Amino acid sequence: MHFLKLILRNTLRHKLRSGLTVLGLVVAIIAFGLLRTVVDAWYAGAEGASSTRLITRNAISLVFPLPINYQERIRKVDGVSAISHASWFGGVYVSEKNFFPQFAVDAKTYFDLYPEYVIAPQEMKAFRADRKGCVIGRKLANTHGFKVGDTIPLRGTIYPGSWNFTIRAIYDGAESATDTSQFFFHWNYLNETMKKAVARRTDWIGVYVIQISDPDKAAEISDEVDAMFRNSLAETLTETEKAFQLGFVSMTEAIVIAIRIVSFVVIFIILAVMANTMAMTARERIREYATLKALGFGPCFLAGLIYGESLMIALAGAAIGIVLTFPVAAQFSEQVGTLFPVFGVSRETVYMQAAAAAAVGLAASVLPALRAARVPIVDGLRSIG
Amino acid sequence: MQRSPDLDNHSESPVHTEPPGEPVVHIRQLSKCYHRGGQIIPVLTNISFDIMHGEFIALMGPSGSGKSTLLNLIAGIDKPDSGLLKINGTDIAALSESELADWRAANVGFIFQFYNLMPVLTAFENVELPLLLTPLARDQRRRRVELALSMVGLRDRMEHYPSELSGGQQQRVAIARAIITDPALLVADEPTGDLDRSSANDILAMLERLNRELGKTIIMVTHDPHAAQSAHSIRHLEKGELELKKH
């Protein structure tokens, strides 16, 4: 009890110094949490992937399409329970900064493969009945204030022209990690339009989404699908949805690594600040530590005092920093719009923030504690604090 | 090594826990030198003397004569290079650091020139500090601290922090802290060096009373001849060698 009292009072002894150190920690912990959340957001697609879905794309590159007639052949592969397809549209809503993913999908089958997209039955019916209709996610709707019945005009890039879609449904995510920033419309509408404009670009799709009944047979089924189209006009590459998503992440891996490094640099900087604070504190109190030693208190008691004070400052910074990370992350998510479809502070990030703060508290106190524990009493009593 | 303090039984009559005539401090051929920048500087050279139980001695001498070093050796916060140093029959030079810490907690009360109180603790808590190393319960500790503070006339100031007390009052708190575990030996390094004459006299009177009524053996380092007059005997250190002067 006295030990804790002494730690608490020592912590509050230089309120400005302790306060500024805590403030520094708060900023560092928020920055660390935010950067970790950005990294998590990068992997959110892969994390939310289903183990029962495979993606088949053109083996050369994702930018090359696949013929629509592959669909029936793939459906016949043993272990395939359902199949649908999606094509990247890449349109621009008003300006490039309003980016959100847009896919032309098979309206009849696509959403059966994605039960995590929760759509009201009447809205789904309305969407399927309107070939110029579209389905958008809740986050996208909230970002731009869209509601059912509104028209979304898109300027085509891959598929030239002006495209207008009527919102027929807004889907919610079955889980918090579900991406609700997407836009889906009828592939049939796209295909028919292209038939009139550029005939050679008809009957092509971007990727096939394959539902399998047994995740353990994913590799086997993938091999079988790819073997079927070997030496064909458009060879395929089939992989699990998670591997497909991670393929996207790997394209920007350098950025992810840079963010990770910066997140640890932030912690290292605050460690240096904290270590300096604790070194100053311990240096000023050497005579008190020597007095305590003269009275019979051992080196462990002194080390405990310094470590306790350091940990108290670190944990105060961590507690405030962690609490503030949530509103800051929410604000950040709002600012970046649909760039990060899933952006939330995970429990793991909070644990990492707490662990980083505790590590900073411990590491910052090591040298001052050693010095206090080792200083000869006679030298300590002579020192001027 | 820990003594069980028994200040609770304190009365106004003198307390002598050991028979008079026994040496509390027994020193033979004690030497100590310091190393500074590759040079060896002898501070104490072959010092031999005894301090008997219940004695109150003053150590005097010019700066650098080794009086504080001698006091530190006797108090067990420094170690000699050679010679014999026994306190109450214990060869403290042979003790390990942790044994020495326990020994100090039980046997030595410290009074420093600048009081060395913990600024974040109240007078009560400062005095209570050494008792945290004993097995005493909270109530027992409280009774003892209140008694010790009463003895130094500061019972009404026990919730005050050192910064709220005068220099003389702080030194009285330090004295209360020094006697709280009922040690056999009190060591005081310039206890009046930072005080005005009036406060200094109060402190010296208090030390005399502790020596007279509680039978404490007191070793006091001082530059002040007036302060030294309070002691039974004065020992002068000159270039690391000792001479005795009784008065």
pLDDT tens for residues A334-383? 887 667 777 889 999 999 999 999 999 999 999 999 999 999 999 999 87
What does pTM read for this prediction?
Answer: 0.75
User: For chain B, which domains are there?
Assistant: 22-246 (3.40.50.300)
CB atoms within 10 A of CB A289: 27
Q: Is B106 in Cβ contact with A6 (below 8 Å)?
A: no
Q: Which residues of B touch A377 (CB under 8 A)?
A: 72, 77-78
Cα dist from A97 to A38, A144, A155, A361, whole Å = 18, 12, 13, 42
Q: Is A295 in Cβ contact with B133 (below 8 Å)?
A: yes
B75: nearest CA partner in chain A? A294
Contact A17, A323 (CB under 8 A): no
Q: How far apart are CA B79 and CA B92, in angstroms?
A: 8
Q: Is B77 in Cβ contact with A296 (below 8 Å)?
A: no
Q: Which residues of B touch A5 (CB under 8 A)?
A: 125
What pLDDT sits at residue A217?
92
pLDDT digits (tens, 9 = 90+) for B90-130: 999 999 999 999 999 999 999 999 999 999 999 999 999 99
Q: Which residue type does A140 have?
A: L
Q: Is A6 in Cβ contact with B130 (below 8 Å)?
A: no
Estimate the share of chain A in helix, then strand, then coil, as percent rounded to the nearest 5.
60, 15, 25
Query: Which residue ranges make up each domain of chain A?
Result: 2-45+253-382, 60-234
* Shortest Cα–Cα distance, B73 to chain A (Å): 10
Nearest-CB residue to B102 (from A5, A294, A296): A296
User: Tokens standing for A111?
Assistant: 């959403």
Half-sphere exposure of A113 (CA within 13 A, CB side): 27
Contacts of A316 (CB under 8 A, 6+ apart): A22, A25
Task: Give the model's confidence band at B6: pLDDT under 50 very low, under 70 low, under 90 confident, else very high.
Answer: very low
Contact A177, A45 (CB under 8 A): no
pLDDT digits (tens, 9 = 90+) for A247-289: 877 877 888 899 999 999 999 999 999 999 999 999 999 999 9
Average confidence (pLDDT) over B223-245: 83
Nearest-CB residue to A298 (from B77, B98, B177): B98
Q: Is A293 in Cβ contact with B101 (below 8 Å)?
A: yes
Q: What is the DSSP string of A142-203?
A: HHHT--TT-EEEEEETTTTEEEEEEEEEEEEESSTTS----EEEEHHHHHHHHHHH-GGG-S
pLDDT digits (tens, 9 = 90+) for A78-122: 999 999 999 999 999 999 888 899 999 999 999 999 999 999 999
β-pairing, A66-67 vs B90-91, is unpaired
- Residue A172 β-bridge partners: A118
What pLDDT sits at residue B245?
60
The ipTM, to two decimals, is: 0.88
pLDDT digits (tens, 9 = 90+) for A42-80: 887 677 778 899 999 999 988 899 999 999 999 999 999
Q: Is B128 in Cβ contact with A291 (below 8 Å)?
A: no
